[in-house]
């Protein structure tokens, strides 16, 4: 059966893990990956890269060509000190009795892993045989996998793996089993593995340890110290588990001291959120560009100079209303300052350019692309509603981001203004899903933390999404990515979302008094009939109340 180079590499990795006794977690750490990424590569759900090959070869102490020459050749190149004393090391091999439907084992007795006690022989009616004391026994070579004369693993008809229940063509000791313990996620209704005959235990057995090849989504979660238990209900997603695991580890490290643990997590928020972002992109549809030549308009000017990109930041007050109240033409007005929850987290759902920005002078807006646009904005003649481009009143064209341009075009469709004039653009193919998996994970973690009054996770999540937005530009604190266009676009989306809230209040009969920052909207009237109250992303909360006039 012929194999592709990548299939041969997956088999080689499984063989090397087996010969060195490494677990998935051990190899993942050595390669700078997490267990999920390694499992996906070995399950052919994502590809091994050339860089991975270099790292693998260096890890196992052999040239790359030896690594790619097949499992038998590569295993022969391992140094003696790398070999496990028991072939397969800590790998879990489950013996299966001989039956008419499965091939017989290659050895007279089923294989026993070196780190497991031997099973006691079956009791005889006349004289029961007590269970022998646990001892380590090396596993014979034939128990690692069923191999042909050339040393390559043999493959047969697909059958359920005795560990995870998923189909596999490989055999270990005559039983269907994934090589190297590289099993997929255990199905909900997987058939239990046949039990080996053993004498009744003379004492209560210790709880069985989790298999070393247990999938990420099924691994037990370590509880935080009694002073602060890890919040439950975060779901099975690997991103959510990563967040919860880090919070639990920080609490254990600081003996349940909430304040110290929170400070430590906030300090690590930038590398942690970048690790989550990279994990969220595994298997993604698009390969984004992390570093590309920065156009002059995106370069940060002097310390006291304004950026060339206008994000649409609002700073607006209803002068008409304030003037009327001051003149006594209106009675005193009760105003409520509303706060938009997690504005930057919501704004991460926006159209982002995927690759390098390309110059375009057609003056036509392509909805399948995203980027920056030099635009002459239309006149805005609505004194009771803030302008979509914020408080910038300089004449002439402005460099606007994708969200601001789309908001202006939307206002034109609502007959609030004329169409903006586009002079030139810097764009790339765009997508709204680039940060969606990361955004959902952070939003779900935030929601669960609020429900559980978990201030540690809440502050940690807030630090991650806010610092992600503020450091993906040209910050020296984040060296994993440089996308100032993304930074400006996400900020602009937050301002566009706030403007849409103001427009909703206005069209629902409320009076907009003030709009400022990323999340502040001041209104008069029964705002609870317009906006749901709460702390979730789609809700708002009252920040303060005050009276104008009187």
| pLDDT higher at 145 or 158 | 158
Record the pTM. Answer: 0.59
Cα–Cα distances (Å) from 218 to 29, 70, 185, 196, in that order, read 19, 32, 8, 24
pLDDT confidence of residue 2: 63
Check pLDDT > 60 for residue 276: yes
Q: Mean pLDDT over residues 68-87, rounded?
A: 78
Q: Is there a contact between 48 and 113 (Cβ–Cβ < 8 Å)?
A: no
Beta bridge partners of 428: 370
End-to-end distance of the chain based on CA atoms, in angstroms? 89
Dist. CA 121–CA 209, nearest whole Å: 22
Dist. CA 167–CA 345, nearest whole Å: 41
Percent of the chain with pLDDT over 70: 72
Q: Is there a contact between 21 and 113 (Cβ–Cβ < 8 Å)?
A: no
Dist. CA 131–CA 119, nearest whole Å: 7
Check pLDDT > 70 for residue 437: yes
Q: Mean pLDDT over residues 450-454, rounded?
A: 94
**Chain centre to alpha carbon of residue 28:** 17
**510 HSE (CA, 13 A, CB side):** 26
- The model's confidence at residue 298, banded by pLDDT at 50, 70 and 90, is confident
| pLDDT higher at 116 or 440 | 440
Q: State the pairing for strand pair 309-310/398-401.
A: parallel
Q: Which residues of 24-63 are buried (b: 16+ CB within 10 A; e: fewer)?
A: bbbbbeebebbbbbbbbbbeeebebeeebbebbbebbebe
DSSP track, 223-268? PPPTTSPPPS---S-HHHHHHHHHHHHHHHHTTT-HHHHHHHHHHT
Q: Tokens 């007005």 correspond to what residue? A: 333
Q: Mean pLDDT over residues 90-111, rounded?
A: 41
Tens digits of residue pLDDT in 375-406? 999 999 999 999 999 987 777 899 999 999 99
pLDDT confidence of residue 442: 96
Dist. CA 204–CA 541, nearest whole Å: 55
pLDDT confidence of residue 359: 95
Q: Mean pLDDT over residues 105-120, rounded?
A: 43
Check pLDDT > 50 for residue 299: yes
Tens digits of residue pLDDT in 412-432? 999 999 999 999 999 999 999
Dist. CA 301–CA 307, nearest whole Å: 6
Cα–Cα distances (Å) from 508 to 505, 513, 527, 529, in that order, read 5, 14, 9, 9
Dist. CA 202–CA 70, nearest whole Å: 47
* Tokens, residue 60: 């196992």
Check pLDDT > 80 for residue 121: no
What's the CA dihedral at 115, 116, 118, 122 to 10 degrees?
Answer: -170
Enclosing H/E stretch for 10: helix 5-20
Q: Is there a contact between 321 and 506 (Cβ–Cβ < 8 Å)?
A: no
Q: Is there a contact between 456 and 265 (Cβ–Cβ < 8 Å)?
A: yes
Percent of the chain with pLDDT over 90: 47
Dist. CA 217–CA 236, nearest whole Å: 6
Enclosing H/E stretch for 75: helix 71-76
Check pLDDT > 60 for residue 200: no
Mean pLDDT of the chain: 78
Check pLDDT > 60 for residue 550: yes
Q: Mean pLDDT over residues 473-493, rounded?
A: 91
Dist. CA 67–CA 54, nearest whole Å: 9
Task: Average the pLDDT over each of 180-184, 260-264, 491-495 and give the range with the smallest value.
Answer: 180-184
């Amino acid at each position: 059966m012929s194999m592709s180079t990548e299939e041969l590499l997956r088999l080689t990795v499984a063989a090397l893990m087996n010969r060195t006794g490494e677990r998935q977690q051990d190899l993942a750490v050595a390669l700078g990956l997490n267990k999920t990424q390694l499992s996906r590569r070995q399950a052919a759900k994502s590809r091994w890269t050339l860089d991975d090959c270099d790292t693998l070869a260096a890890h196992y102490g052999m040239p790359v060509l030896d690594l790619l020459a097949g499992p038998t050749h590569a295993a022969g190149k391992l140094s003696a000190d790398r070999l496990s004393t028991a072939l397969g090391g800590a790998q879990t091999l489950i013996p299966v009795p001989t039956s008419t439907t499965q091939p017989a084992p290659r050895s007279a007795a089923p294989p026993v892993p070196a780190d497991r006690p031997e099973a006691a022989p079956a009791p005889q009616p006349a004289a029961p045989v007590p269970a022998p004391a646990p001892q380590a026994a090396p596993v014979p070579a034939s128990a690692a996998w069923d191999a042909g004369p050339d040393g390559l693993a043999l493959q047969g008809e697909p059958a359920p793996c005795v560990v995870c229940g998923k189909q596999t063509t490989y055999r270990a000791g005559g039983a269907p089993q994934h090589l190297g313990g590289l099993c997929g996620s255990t199905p909900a209704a997987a058939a239990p593995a046949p039990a080996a005959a053993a004498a009744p235990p003379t004492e209560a057995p210790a709880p069985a340890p989790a298999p070393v090849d247990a999938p990420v989504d099924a691994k037990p979660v370590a509880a935080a110290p009694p002073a602060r238990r890890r919040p439950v209900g975060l779901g099975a997603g690997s991103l959510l588990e990563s967040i919860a695991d880090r919070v639990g580890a920080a609490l254990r490290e600081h003996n349940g001291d909430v304040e110290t643990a929170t400070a430590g997590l906030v300090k690590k928020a930038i590398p942690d959120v970048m690790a989550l972002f990279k994990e969220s992109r595994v298997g993604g549809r698009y390969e984004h560009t992390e570093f590309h030549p920065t156009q002059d308009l995106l370069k940060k000017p002097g310390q006291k100079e304004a950026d060339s990109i206008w994000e649409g930041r609002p700073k607006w007050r209803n002068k008409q209303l304030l003037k009327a109240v001051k003149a006594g033409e209106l009675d005193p007005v009760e105003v409520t300052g509303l706060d938009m929850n997690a504005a930057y987290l919501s704004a991460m759902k926006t159209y982002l350019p995927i690759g390098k920005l390309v110059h375009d002078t057609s003056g036509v807006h392509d909805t399948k692309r995203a980027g920056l646009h030099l635009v002459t904005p239309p006149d805005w003649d609505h004194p009771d509603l803030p302008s979509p481009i914020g408080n910038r009143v300089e004449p002439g064209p402005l460099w606007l981001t994708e969200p601001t341009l789309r908001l202006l075009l939307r206002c034109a469709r609502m007959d609030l203004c004329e169409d903006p004039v586009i002079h030139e653009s810097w764009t790339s193919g765009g997508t709204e899903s680039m940060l969606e998996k990361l955004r959902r994970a952070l939003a779900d973690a935030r929601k669960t933390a609020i429900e559980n009054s978990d201030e540690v996770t809440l502050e940690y999540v807030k630090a991650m999404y806010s610092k992600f937005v503020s450091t993906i530009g040209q910050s020296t604190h984040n060296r994993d990515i440089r996308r100032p266009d993304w930074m400006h676009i996400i900020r602009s989306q937050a301002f566009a979302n706030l403007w849409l809230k103001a427009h909703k209040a206005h069209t629902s009969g409320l009076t907009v008094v003030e709009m400022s920052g990323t999340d502040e909207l001041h209104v008069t009237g029964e705002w609870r009939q317009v906006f749901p109250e709460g702390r979730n992303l789609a809700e708002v909360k009252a920040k303060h109340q005050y009276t104008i006039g009187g």
